[in-house]
Amino acid sequence: MSNLTATNQQILDFQAQLEAQDTSFPMLSVLNNDGQIVDEEALKRADLSDEDLVNIIKRMLLSRQLDIRSTKLAKQGRFGFFAPTAGQEASQMASSYAFNDDDWLMPGYRDIPEIVVKGWPIWKAILWSRGHALGNEFTTEDGKPVNAWIPQIIIGAQYVEAAGIALGLKKRNKDAVAYAYTGDGGTSQGDFYEGMNFAGAYKANAVFFAQNNGYAISTPRSLQTAATHLAAKGWAAGLPSIVVDGNDPIAVYLAAKEARAWATSGKGPVFIETLTDRLEPHSTAGDDPLRYRTQADIDAWWQKEPLIRMRKFMTEKGIWSEEQESSYIDEVNALIDEQIKIADKVDKQKISNFIKHTLEVPGQAMTEQISKFESEGK
């Protein structure tokens, strides 16, 4: 070893390389768990007005309320599939606050709240969950297109599709990005890498999020990969890749905002790992987290959930109060009640429409089936 050049010695020091990986991804943090600002300059750089802060906490509360109500409805059998979001409000709602209507959202199945704040009516989200096609028409209440995709079920597919949207936006010279979400489990999929790699190779307008919430159903983050930071995977594709405190709404917003600015300036995509926790089961379909994690661990994460610190910070700042919060929650609950009523009233789906929507120009056997089902009123 002593005869090697310093460079060669360094190259062959595998242990040092692993340690360098460990220290290459410090966590972006602005608002700590006690609601204290740990970096005043970062707060200034986030450039959030009081109104923005109120909007963000409202979106987080909307998400929490949707989570609570959806879980209850699922238990009563009045909802279909629902993937709980509690604990991820900063990761989901503060990140998506950095994007606008022209940007394209590519969600995973847990990213319902991000689509809702983009204009997808809650009654449609309920229908999507229940399994009704009308929910899948991505338009706002007044008929404007919602630039988002139906929540992706195949983990990772939203990443390769986001690369395509991002390339299209760049080719059309749009001041917009595609932003995609997956989880820590999603980072193990081939599509996760292919999407970032394609977008990177074309320097396309994309921002990729991996919400590291600790578990893919029951499999812990530690079993997904030997990489100590998921952000390292973005680096492999040549993307600026960062780790953010996923329970810190201001840090998450700042990261997303800067990533969007970078991606729209022609410099290519950015990858953001948000460190958070899924405080609840994987889905409402019978998952029991106590089979794979301890109550103490769950309780500890509940102490770090993002609403606690955001409330403290904003109350201290004099721009939020218990009264405001309870009146906003009442407002949200009234809205959800009204939206459930709309969802309950939609017409039964028709098999003939399913066939019509499968191909724009149906084949002969399909045409025969359309006539048959129509004649039966189906």
Partner 1 sequence: MAVKSYIDAIREAMDLALKKDNDVVIFGEDVGENGGVFRATDGLQAKYGEERVFNTPLAESGIGGLAIGLTTQNYRPIMEIQFFGFVFEVMDSIAGQMARNRFRFNGTRQMPIVVRSPYGGGTKTPEMHADNLEGMVAQIPGIRVVMPANPADAKGLLMSSIESNDPVVFLENLHLYRSLKGEVPEGYYTTPLDTAAVAREGEDVSIISYGGGVPVALKAADALAKNGVSAEVLDLRTVSPLDIKSIGDTVTKTGRVVIVQEAQRMAGIGANVMGEISERFILSLKAPIGRVAAPDSVYPFGQAENDWMIKPDDVVAKVMEVVNYD
What is the binding site for partner 1 (CB under 8 A)? 104, 133-134, 136-139, 147, 150, 154, 157, 159-169, 171-172, 174, 178, 190-191, 194-195, 197-198, 201, 353-354, 356-366
Shortest CB 288 distance to partner 1, Å: 29
Nearer to partner 1, 1 or 365 (CB): 365
Nearer to partner 1, 87 or 195 (CB): 195
Shortest CB 151 distance to partner 1, Å: 10
Shortest CB 360 distance to partner 1, Å: 5
Nearest to 88 by CA among 268, 277, 216: 277
Catalytic site includes residue 309: no
Catalytic site includes residue 193: no
**In what helix (H) or strand (E) does residue 215 lie, and over which residues does it extend?**
strand 215-216
Please check whether residue 111 is in contact with residue 311, taking contact to mean a CB–CB distance below 8 angstroms: no
Catalytic site includes residue 282: yes
Nearer to partner 1, 52 or 175 (CB): 175
Nearest to 251 by CA among 275, 278, 218: 275
Neighbours of 51 (CB within 10 A): 9
Shortest CB 353 distance to partner 1, Å: 8
Strand partners of residue 181: 209
Catalytic choice (69, 110, 229, 282): 282
d(CA 45, CA 98): 13
d(CA 365, CA 202): 42
106 DSSP 8-state letter: E
> Do β-strands 206-212 and 241-245 pair in parallel, antiparallel, or remain unpaired?
unpaired
Catalytic choice (278, 291, 309, 328): 278
Nearer to partner 1, 164 or 249 (CB): 164
The catalytic residues are 278, 282, 292
